[in-house]
Structure 1
């Protein structure tokens, strides 16, 4: 009985912990989950597996190679000795000849071709892997939009709740005045209509939030409750410049390394290859062409192969690699120019938004004082409900501006770090 109770308690605790984990989400956690579950992440494993299998096959090029061949032929003429020697008869070989043989060869030196091909495969795997990293990094921008979109809706909901309280307070004041005959019923109805519009605004915001949460759930492959709480990134008022560390830069470097090892492969193809071999077989005739009968035979030795045909294209192949290298250099230069331009724009945006946030706070302070004064005037019947709503909406607009500018400031800071590759 005690064990059963303990098991149930542990199960309930695990469910509670899981529910708590699902109810809160941080931006970095969203990045990690999106990366783990994005389909492109599977391509990285496939790239590495392909490279490993190819390299393993290249290594087998230095294993002993066995070739078996056989042939049966008929020829119009055979070698003969046109000399008659008394007492000696030299038998003429048969025109039908048969041979089956096996050759065992061992590559000793391939000019460095296998080593160069391995290097090419490793370098190419790094290039393909980094291409996937570049695409995965772009997912961060999409996560930023969804995450900050939800935060903006949350702040708007908070502001709507404040406006709702102000309107409800105004309704109570006017309701009392209507009962006392010091205000018209139309003033109360005006405030109640505004309250209903406020409720409609809440419905719209909640629907928008649910849509954003559902899309974010798809990206991170994790079911998020509709009321999930997102941790707001801290606003840093003084923002330090950072060095560019984008994955594209690694890609350009890996591409340059690939061209270098491809150049090594070109050199290796122009070198000679040496191997040891031994041939053994059975046929008619054997190695003795004048012995017209089936016989065993073998041959052993060293073989040298040097294909000089690639020398015709070596120069052009190297020039092609140089052209490709210059193209990568131009792409890298253009990327750095565009990135630095975008960072300069973000720096200006950060400075502007910091000033706007400070200005919004001053405006809100003034609008709050005006609204409180209007509240007192409404209680005393000095102003109408419309006048009061005007001040409530003015404060609401000021707070909405602050919310928007604060979220835009956070987004600008995150964009700056994402652009620089340090997010």
Structure 2
């Protein structure tokens, strides 16, 4: 009997009809991830990164500016001497200028490429943090999936319990007909059958509630005929591959790039420029005529004040790196503690299952004997039910331990990220 129940629980293909929809745990993981609204943020992160990188790359192409001004000044340049027979027109105090400037950076390519790398690294950090949040979905799927499996196992066992009660009721009715049993024995068995029916109603309601929640998670309609494919037992892998570790690594890489960018900003910057415009005065500041003009050349810009703050900026970045390192160490400590507890849970359920079969065999023998005794009036229906319930409890424990073992194994693998 125990092996038959195990086959129904762990070998679903033997029990499911072709019309029943089947769903595996891995399929639930994938569908829940695809259906989760937060996943759409991944595309937004990618688009934002592409726009940022594209904008930064524009710093490598010539930059064009248009400037203009109109001024009036209190005094203008004049000659301090008078030249006989020569009249020099004084400069106008109202002056006008409009000009365009084209600047081609020569030394900013390295800085811009570094800024692009930082934009990509920051997007990677956001992406990895999102993966951490999405990973938590698996734990919620586990709770629903194994919860449904447990209810399915309990429903199967309750069906076996009702079969035993019906067998006892048939024996009791036979005893009543032969005058060796009381009608109250049959009534007690009928009451116990009704209790089993109520348990079935409760469990079916619980299964529907779990199935409805799973349906919402995976974005797919599920009904009472949907059958879950029990996952195969898992070997425990102690290597930690959680997405949190990838997030910590991405943050560290971003800080390294930021520190390198601080150094590059301290370097002198050269660029070619060309200015062309129209105004009064032009390049000849002694002329009162509107003129076209242009200026071209090589320009140097070196912000020495960056040296005053760069060391502090690096220290702040280093402090942030240290904070991430502490977060990673704390995460690994807590993960290892959880792994230790969960591994003990796996070992505990393995040991419990080793004795479950033996307990069920002994309880079944006692029940079979009680069944015969009930037929001949040697025991009451109450005595018989006590033995039936004892066997039922043993079988329920076995179902529970099998599901708990599977869930403990998969919880351990979720904890390690494998």
Same fold (TM over 0.5): yes
Distance 2:95 2:279 in 1: 8
CA distance in 2 between counterparts of 1:225 and 1:258 reads 47
Structure 2: which 5+ runs fail to align? 1-16
Question: How far apart are 1:84 and its partner, in Å?
Answer: 2.1
After superposition, the Cα gap between the structure-2 partners of 1:23 and 1:285, relative to the gap in structure 1 and judged at 3 Å, is same
Who is 2:251 aligned against? 255
Alignment of 1:212-231 (within 5 A): 212-231=210-229
Aligned partner of residue 97 in structure 2, secondary structure: strand
Superposition CA RMSD, Å: 1.5
Query: Which one of the candidate residues 72, 91, 94 is aligned to 1:93?
Result: 91
Report how far residue 126 of structure 1 moved.
Answer: 0.8
What SS does the aligned partner of 1:225 have? coil
Structure 1 unmatched runs, 5+: 1-18
Counterpart-to-counterpart distance in 1, 2:327 and 2:27: 32
In the other structure, the counterpart of 1:243 is 239
Provide the C-alpha distance between the structure 2 equivalents of 1:114 and 1:201, rounded to a whole number of angstroms: 69
8 Å contact from structure 2 (residues 45, 123) kept in 1: yes
Distance, in Å, in 2 between the alignment partners of 1:20 and 1:391 is 37
TM-score normalised according to structure 1 size: 0.92
Change (3 A) 1:46 1:186: same
Structure 1 residue 240 displacement after superposition? 4.1
* Among 390, 403, 415, the residue aligned to 1:419: 415
Off by >6 Å, runs of 4+ in structure 1: 19-22
Q: How does 1:19-418 map to 2 (within 5 A)?
A: 23-110=21-108, 112-235=110-233, 239-418=235-414
The answer to whether the 8 A contact 2:236-2:413 is kept is: no
Q: Deviations over 1:106-137 (max 9, x none)?
A: 11212732112111111111111000011111
Counterpart of 1:112 in 2: which secondary structure?
Answer: helix
- TM-score calculated relative to the size of structure 2: 0.93
**Deviation sequence 1:155-207 (CA, Å, 0-9, x none):** 00000000000111111111122122221111111000100111000000000
Distance between the aligned counterparts of 1:227 and 1:21, measured in 2?
Answer: 9
Q: Tell whether the 8 Å contact from 1:22 to 1:225 is kept in structure 2 after alignment.
A: no
Match of 1:12 in 2: none
Give the paired residue count.
402
Cα-to-partner distance string for 1:351-381 (whole Å, 9 max, x where unaligned)? 1110101111110010011111111111222
Inter-partner Cα distance in structure 1 for 2:20 and 2:178? 52
Name the SS for the 1:82 alignment partner.
Answer: coil
Deviations 1:380-422 (A, max 9, x none): 2211111111110000010011111111111110111111100
Show CA shifts across 1:57-84 (max 9, x none): 0111122222112222111111111222
Q: Report if aligned partners of 1:90, 1:290 keep a CA contact under 8 Å in 2.
A: no
Distance 1:240 1:212, change over 3 A: closer
TM-superposed CA distance for 1:20, in Å, is 6.9
- The alpha carbon displacement at 1:21 in A equals 9.3
Q: Are the aligned partners of 1:111 and 1:269 in contact in 2 as well (CA < 8 Å)?
A: no
Q: Once structures 1 and 2 are overlaid, which stretch shifts more, 148-157 or 409-418?
A: 409-418
